[in-house]
Structures are given as C-alpha cells and as structure tokens.
C-alpha cells in the first residue's frame, strides 16, 4: 500500500507536469483537478481555500482563471492560465524549479520587469536578458505561445507572456506582458504589442 508521502509526491509531480504543458491535460479543467488533489492530500486539506485565494487575488471568476485571462490576453490563454496555478503551487512549496535564481538575479528581474515591458521584444531577447527560466510553460516550438517564469524559493514568480499569433505571425513569439505578484490584473505590465493584441470586448 502506498504511503501518504508517496501519494502526495505522485500528485505533486503530476501537477508540475500539468503546469508546464497544460494543453496535454485539457487546459484549466486538468489544472483544476490536479491542484484540487494536491491540496486534498497535503496537510492543507481545505479544497475551497485555494479557489478563494485566487478569487481574492483577482485571478479567478465563477468560470475559473480563464474568466480573467481571456479579457486581457489573446486566444484561449491556456499557458497564461497555467501561470496562475503555478503561482499558487510555488507559494505552497509544490512547484519544482528548473532554475533557481540567486538574490542578485532575482532582484534584477524584479527591478527591470516594468522598464523591459515598455518596449516590444522577441522571445530571444527575453532569454538573452534574463537567461533560462525557472519554469517554462508551453513547449519550445516557436509557432505556439509560452510563458517564462523567474523566481527563487521564497519570492513571487516574475512572468513573461509570449505569443505568436493565431497562425504563427512571427518568426518567434513576441512578448505581450510581464507581471510579478498579485493582484493579477494590477500587476500586469503590457508591451506595446500586448496592448495592441488585447481582446476587443463586446457587451
């Protein structure tokens, strides 16, 4: 019989895989399922608290994180949605980092995020400026969107949202926005391209 620790590890590993490739698990439905299971099998146990926390942070509505993200970013926003689930996972120590920034690197990302997002950048310039991310959401195919997160074990994740149009409009994804911390909407900093690509809302 599996121990409690083995069950916890299993779901945490599943959550980490799902956060990185959300399209492989059905998008937000899969993320919701996995985070709910991790919360249930860990010491927190309160399966309502995480949804309340995301709602209070302005990152979730009655239809999920998608209810916020799709008002701000183009297409279905699957990778951007996953970044919110990654935020909560990181806060509780469940997110496995591919690269852990030292204090100097982390401070530099935080200090430069706003100014960096004041101009447009292709994906290569994000990597050149900040290096490989602590967590990459989405694949490496330049035809599709991805999200880069930079952090250390203790601080919030600084995110950079990259997009390549509905039919691979660019040679490589371009930066639409960056953010660090909560509340979700107020922390977003759009690039000029990000402002141009914001969805047109119909009421």
How far from 152 is each of 45, 49, 105, 107, 123, CA to CA, in Å?
26, 24, 9, 10, 21
Residue 136 has pLDDT above 60, yes or no: yes
Work out whether the CA dihedral 151, 176, 82, 72 comes out positive or negative: positive
pLDDT tier at 45, thresholds 50, 70, 90: low
What is d(CA 40, CA 77) in angstroms, rounded to the nearest whole number? 27
Percent of the chain exceeding pLDDT 90 equals 69
The better pLDDT of the pair 196, 1 is held by 196
Instruction: Provide the CB-side half-sphere exposure for 188 (13 A, CA).
Output: 23
Percent of the chain exceeding pLDDT 70 equals 95
Closest by CA position to 173, among listed 159, 185, 163: 163
Stated pTM of the model: 0.93
The predicted structure's pLDDT at residue 165:
75
pLDDT tier at 202, thresholds 50, 70, 90: very low
Residue 36 has pLDDT above 60, yes or no: yes
The better pLDDT of the pair 97, 200 is held by 97
Element (H, E) at 163: strand 158-163
Q: Look over the chain and give the mean of its residue pLDDT values, rounded to a whole number.
A: 91
Are 184 and 177 within 8 A, CB to CB?
Answer: no
The better pLDDT of the pair 78, 74 is held by 78
Which pairs from 47-55 meet CB under 8 Å and 24+ separation? 50/88, 53/88, 54/84, 54/88
Angle between helix axes 103-116 and 123-130 (nearest 10 degrees) is 140
Read off the pLDDT of each residue in 110-122 and give the average, rounded to a whole number: 96
Pairing of strands 158-163, 135-137: unpaired
Count the Cβ atoms, other than its own, within 10 Å of residue 203.
2
Q: Is the peptide bond before 183 cis (omega within 30 degrees of 0)?
A: yes
Both structure tokens of 96: 């496995």
Query: Which range, of 7-16, 54-63, 154-163, averages the lowest pLDDT?
Result: 54-63
């Amino acid at each position: 019989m599996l121990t409690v620790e083995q069950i916890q590890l299993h779901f945490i590993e599943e959550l980490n895989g799902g956060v990185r490739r959300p399209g492989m698990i059905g998008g937000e439905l899969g993320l919701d399922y996995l985070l709910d299971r991790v919360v249930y099998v860990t010491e927190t146990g309160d399966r309502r608290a995480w949804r309340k926390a995301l709602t209070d942070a302005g990152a979730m509505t009655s239809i999920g994180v998608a209810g916020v993200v799709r008002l701000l970013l183009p297409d279905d926003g699957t990778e951007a949605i996953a970044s919110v689930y990654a935020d909560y996972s990181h806060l509780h120590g469940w997110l496995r980092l591919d690269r852990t920034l030292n204090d100097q690197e982390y401070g530099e990302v935080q200090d430069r995020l706003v100014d960096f997002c004041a101009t447009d950048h292709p994906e290569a310039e994000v990597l050149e400026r900040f290096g490989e991310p602590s967590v990459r959401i989405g694949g490496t195919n330049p035809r599709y969107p991805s999200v880069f997160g930079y952090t250390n074990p203790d601080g919030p994740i600084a995110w950079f949202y990259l997009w390549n149009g509905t039919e691979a409009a660019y040679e490589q994804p371009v930066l639409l926005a960056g953010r660090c911390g909560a509340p979700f909407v107020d922390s977003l900093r759009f690039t000029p391209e990000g402002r141009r690509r914001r969805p047109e809302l119909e009421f």
